[in-house]
């Protein structure tokens, strides 16, 4: 019956677009609702060769020219400037800061001895946040596993990662869990498997012809499914370990993060509507269905066939229910067109198995130019309603949401203000409509090294001058707007206009 409900959800949103609240304040959100911003280790820390850190797969790829010469060797030097950055967080009014731990900084060999300098850095960062009343929300894996494990056994292609990832998580829980209450095991594993093992656009850059680009190794037909399976087993192992050994004492919460588009059928045809459901099954259901129901979606099992590993009964029971919350990264809404003809080929990759065309309209993630996202905030309501209807309305934190602009020295990022204003308003409408969303984080706090295009684009509330040896930070218009909202001010479209008029004084 549920399968009949979901297409009508999409059609309702296509025919009757949702209006988003224009004027609001943070007091309109439930008590305890968390607002913050975030970064990730490779994108912000720098100090890539300092204090015992070993290379991650991102270091290796970047130094091979993967990003046209851009690397995270220095990034924006968060490793040395964390106190300055926490001060900015306090001035902005953040409740929380989302960041990731660099596995190769904490455990350079991937397993075994802990690096004292890495341990000291994360203790210092966490203590600095706590002392200023900012909650640390920690992600264990943000695309950057140690190169040494990739070299030794193929990283996530091997089940050995389950044990090594669990041991690494154990160190984090033991060392930081007395101060960290929110843990995310992995960031965007759905994008990681497509980008890293099908299309080859992310490290470790695996793919096979004709599906990927310039890859020297990999198998796009099988590896994405193998990696997804190992990630789910590793996630479940870590959650089980946390619950058995730490949760009762530390009273924390643990979950996983997914990248989620708002999917809308291009037309009202049954083909496009069913294709939209298929896209959701592959993008979201590949992970959420096992986590909620204990097995992969039927569509995925049918189209992937024997290439998709099967759970044993024991594994299914371990994976099912292995989360306290779901982190959602959402940026834009795309239209879906049926491409069932792709299923006629015997040799199919993950994307062909999905059998859809994603129409990005005015923006394309793979476009090297920093095009801005169309502002379609009702897509966030669509996503949250989908989780409510299909997966039982789990607690959700919007871990990433923000506007992409060209990286330059302009501080008058009016489009980012308009974007964030619209999406927070849409989030408020979703909460009022019963969504179990509990927090919102902008991406990103600073202009960082972006994983899609290095230093070409920016998402930050704060501009970082890369030409300044001190990498000075400057607040953008969006930082002032967000701060006004966080500190209780009422915000609306009239405030957007006024901010634009007063931008010179705000950013001086």
User: What's the token pair of residue 3?
Assistant: 């399968």
Q: How many helices (H) and strands (E) does the chain have?
A: 21, 15
Torsion sign over Cα 146, 246, 185, 30: negative
Rounded distance between C-alpha atoms, residue 243 and residue 250, angstroms: 10
Q: What is the dihedral of CA 267, 271, 273, 278, to 10 degrees?
A: -130
Torsion sign over Cα 66, 69, 74, 75: negative
Rounded distance between C-alpha atoms, residue 329 and residue 378, angstroms: 15
Terminal-residue alpha carbon distance, the chain = 58
Rounded distance between C-alpha atoms, residue 288 and residue 158, angstroms: 22
Catalytic option among 188, 223, 315, 385: 188
Q: Is 152 a catalytic residue?
A: no
Catalytic option among 45, 400, 418, 450: 400
* Cα dist from 483 to 78, 285, 477, 478, whole Å: 21, 36, 10, 8
Q: Is 188 a catalytic residue?
A: yes
Rounded distance between C-alpha atoms, residue 291 and residue 276, angstroms: 21
Q: Collect all residues with Cβ–Cβ distance below 8 Å to 367 and sequence separation of at least 6.
A: none
Residues, the chain, total?
A: 508
CA 151 to chain centre: 26
Is the CB of residue 225 less than 8 Å from the CB of residue 304?
yes
CB atoms within 10 A of CB 130: 14
Provide, for the chain, the percentages of residues in helix, strand and coil under a 3-state DSSP scheme, each rounded to the nearest 5: 45, 15, 40
Rounded distance between C-alpha atoms, residue 283 and residue 338, angstroms: 15
Rounded distance between C-alpha atoms, residue 357 and residue 382, angstroms: 19
| Residues noted as catalytic | 188, 400
């Amino acid at each position: 019956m549920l399968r009949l409900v979901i297409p009508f959800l999409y059609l309702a949103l296509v025919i009757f677009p949702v209006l988003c609240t224009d004027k609001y304040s943070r007091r309109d959100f439930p008590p305890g609702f968390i607002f913050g911003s975030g970064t990730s280790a490779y994108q912000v820390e720098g100090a890539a060769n300092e204090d015992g850190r070993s290379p991650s797969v991102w270091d290796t790829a970047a130094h091979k020219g993967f990003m046209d010469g851009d690397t995270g060797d220095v990034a924006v030097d968060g490793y040395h400037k964390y106190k300055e950055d926490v001060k900015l967080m306090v001035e902005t009014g953040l409740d929380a800061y989302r960041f990731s731990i660099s596995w190769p900084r904490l455990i350079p060999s991937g397993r075994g001895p802990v690096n004292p300098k890495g341990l000291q850095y994360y203790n210092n960062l966490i203590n600095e946040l706590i002392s200023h009343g900012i909650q640390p929300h920690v992600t264990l894996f943000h695309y950057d596993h140690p190169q040494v494990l990739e070299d030794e056994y193929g990283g996530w292609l091997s089940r050995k990662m389950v044990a090594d990832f669990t041991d690494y998580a154990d160190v984090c829980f033991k060392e930081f869990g007395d101060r960290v209450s929110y843990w995310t095991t992995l960031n965007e594993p759905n994008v990681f498997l497509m980008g890293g093992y099908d299309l080859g656009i992310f490290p470790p850059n695996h793919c096979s012809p004709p599906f990927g680009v310039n890859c020297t190794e990999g198998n796009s037909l099988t590896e994405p499914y193998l990696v997804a399976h190992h990630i789910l087993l590793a996630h479940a192992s870590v959650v089980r370990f946390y619950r058995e050994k730490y949760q009762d004492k530390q009273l924390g919460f643990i979950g996983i993060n997914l990248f989620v588009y708002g999917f809308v059928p291009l037309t009202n045809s049954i083909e496009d509507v069913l294709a939209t459901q298929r896209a959701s099954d592959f993008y979201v259901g590949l992970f959420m269905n096992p986590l909620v129901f204990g097995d992969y979606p039927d569509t995925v099992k049918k189209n992937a066939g024997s290439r998709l590993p099967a759970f044993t009964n024991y594994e299914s029971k371990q994976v099912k229910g292995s989360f306290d919350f779901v982190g959602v990264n959402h940026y834009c809404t795309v239209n879906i067109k049926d491409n069932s003809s792709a299923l006629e080929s015997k040799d199919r990759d993950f994307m062909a198995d999905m059998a859809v065309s994603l129409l990005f309209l005015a923006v394309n993630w793979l476009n090297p130019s920093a095009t801005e996202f169309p502002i379609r905030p009702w897509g966030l309501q669509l996503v949250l309603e989908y989780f409510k209807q299909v997966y039982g309305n789990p607690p959700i934190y919007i871990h990433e949401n923000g506007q992409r602009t060209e990286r330059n020295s302009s501080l008058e990022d009016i489009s980012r203000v308009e974007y964030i204003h619209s999406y927070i308003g849409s989030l408020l409408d979703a909460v009022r409509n019963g969504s179990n969303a509990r927090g919102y984080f902008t991406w990103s706090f600073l202009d960082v090294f972006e994983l899609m295009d290095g230093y070409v684009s920016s998402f930050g509330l704060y501009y970082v001058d890369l030409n300044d040896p001190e990498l000075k930070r400057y607040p953008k218009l969006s930082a002032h707007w967000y701060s006004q909202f966080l500190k209780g001010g009422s915000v609306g479209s009239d405030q957007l206009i006024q901010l634009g008029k007063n931008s010179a004084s705000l950013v001086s």
